[in-house]
């Protein structure tokens, strides 16, 4: 059964970035949290709170529709599959993402895309993230 990433418990998030580091390390072979498909950030202000930028798992993903080379294809249950070998580095997907969850990695000329794998969930020490059945 397909699963989608959710962050329903953001009030529990302390900004440890364990989820970001796990994603970057496991999926992108990098130790920089900027290389993660999930991004935790502060909304600023005196009593700041944290928010998460993640793929919402669109049923008809605009990022896949914008992809000219079929590197992003819709995934059963929502979200996309990413085929690195097909990507031509145009960046159209990042511009098309309705929630800004896709960023373009200028170092490798490819997008950083959430593939709904759940790695970030395993490393979140405060159970902020979860995978739900679709």
Q: Which domains does the chain have, with CATH numbers?
A: 1-54+117-134 (3.30.70.20), 57-113 (3.30.70.20)
Mean pLDDT of all residues in the chain?
Answer: 94
Residues 57-63 have a mean pLDDT of 95
At residue 65, the pLDDT reads 97
* Residue percentage of the chain with pLDDT more than 90: 90
Residues 103-124 have a mean pLDDT of 95
Residues 34-38 have a mean pLDDT of 96
At residue 47, the pLDDT reads 72
Q: Confidence class of residue 46 from pLDDT cuts 50, 70 and 90?
A: low
> CA separation (Å) from 108 to 35, 104, 111, 112, 128?
11, 9, 9, 10, 30
Q: What is the pTM of this model?
A: 0.89
Each residue's pLDDT tens digit, 65-89: 999 999 999 999 999 999 999 999 9
> CA separation (Å) from 45 to 10, 11, 107, 118, 124?
17, 16, 32, 31, 25
Asked if the model's pLDDT at residue 15 lies above 70, the reply is yes
């Amino acid at each position: 059964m397909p699963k989608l990433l959710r962050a329903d418990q953001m009030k529990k998030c302390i900004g440890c970035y364990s989820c970001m580091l796990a994603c970057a390390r496991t999926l992108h072979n990098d130790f920089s949290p900027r290389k993660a498909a999930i991004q935790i950030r502060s909304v600023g202000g005196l009593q700041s709170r944290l928010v998460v930028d993640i793929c919402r798992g669109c049923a008809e993903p605009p990022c896949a529709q914008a992809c000219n080379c079929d590197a992003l294809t819709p995934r059963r249950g929502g979200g996309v599959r990413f085929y690195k070998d097909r990507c031509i580095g145009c960046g159209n997907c990042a511009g098309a993402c309705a929630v800004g969850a896709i960023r373009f990695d200028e170092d490798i000329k490819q997008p950083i895309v959430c593939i709904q794998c759940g790695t970030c969930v395993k490393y979140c020490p405060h159970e902020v993230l979860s995978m739900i059945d679709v």
